[in-house]
Amino acid sequence: MSAPMAGDYVSTILRLHDPRRLDRLELALMSLCGQRHACLSPVIMLQDFSDADEARVRQVAGRLPWRAETRPPEILNLRSLGSGDHRTKLLNAGLRAATGAYVAFLDFDDYLYPHAYSSLIARIAASGKIAAFGAVAIAEIDPDSPAGACLSKRLFPQNRSKYDFFRENVYPIHSFLMKSEVAKSVVVPDHLCAMEDYYFLLSTLKDHDWDDELTRSAPIAEYVYWADRSNTIAGTFGHGNSGPAWQSAEREIERYKQGVMVTIPMHGLLSVVETGRRDKVGERQAHMPDVSTAFLRSFRAILPLVGLWRRVEGGVDEVAWNGSETSFSGSIKMPEWEPTPAAGLLFLGRPSRLRPSFRHLATIGFEPLRPDDNSFAFAGSTVLTARQMRKGRHQLVLFVVTGGGRLYRASQASVPLLASTIRLHEAA
Q: Specify the pLDDT at position 94.
A: 98
CA-based torsion, 190, 194, 197, 202: positive or negative: negative
Count other C-beta atoms under 10 Å from residue 276's C-beta.
Answer: 18
Q: What pLDDT digit, counting tens, does each position of 34-71 carry?
A: 999 999 999 999 999 999 999 999 999 999 999 999 99
Rounded distance between C-alpha atoms, residue 91 and residue 14, angstroms: 9
Q: Specify the pLDDT at position 220.
A: 96
Among the listed ranges 10-14, 38-42, 399-403, 419-423, which one has the minimum average pLDDT value?
419-423
Rounded to an integer, the average pLDDT of 243-270 is 79
Rounded to an integer, the average pLDDT of 8-28 is 94
Q: Specify the pLDDT at position 352.
A: 66
Q: Specify the pLDDT at position 299.
A: 46
Q: Does the global pTM surpass 0.75?
A: no
Among the listed ranges 3-7, 248-252, 378-382, which one has the minimum average pLDDT value?
3-7
Residue 286 has pLDDT above 50, yes or no: no
pLDDT range class, residue 308, cuts 50, 70, 90:
low
pLDDT range class, residue 281, cuts 50, 70, 90:
very low
Q: What pLDDT digit, counting tens, does each position of 365-404 carry?
A: 888 887 678 899 999 888 887 777 766 667 888 888 876 6
Residue 234 has pLDDT above 70, yes or no: no
Q: Specify the pLDDT at position 261.
A: 83
Q: Specify the pLDDT at position 414.
A: 40
Is 289 strand, coil or helix? Answer: coil
Q: What pLDDT digit, counting tens, does each position of 111-147 carry?
A: 999 999 999 999 999 999 999 999 999 988 877 776 6
Residue range 270-427, CATH number: 2.60.40.2440
Which CATH fold topology does 6-259 show? Spore Coat Polysaccharide Biosynthesis Protein SpsA; Chain A (3.90.550)
Q: Specify the pLDDT at position 155.
A: 84
Residue 292 has pLDDT above 50, yes or no: no
Exposure string of 121-156, with b = 16+ CB inside 10 Å and e = fewer, is bebbeeeebbbbbbbbbbbebeeeeeebeeeeeeeb
Rounded distance between C-alpha atoms, residue 189 and residue 172, angstroms: 19
Q: How does the average pLDDT of the chain come out, rounded?
A: 80
Rounded to an integer, the average pLDDT of 136-162 is 79
What does the domain layout of the chain look like in residue ranges? 6-259, 270-427
| CB neighbour list of residue 1: distance below 8 Å, 6 or more residues apart | none
Residue 210 has pLDDT above 70, yes or no: yes
What is the biggest distance separating any 2 CA atoms in the chain, rounded to whole angstroms? 85
Q: Specify the pLDDT at position 394.
A: 72
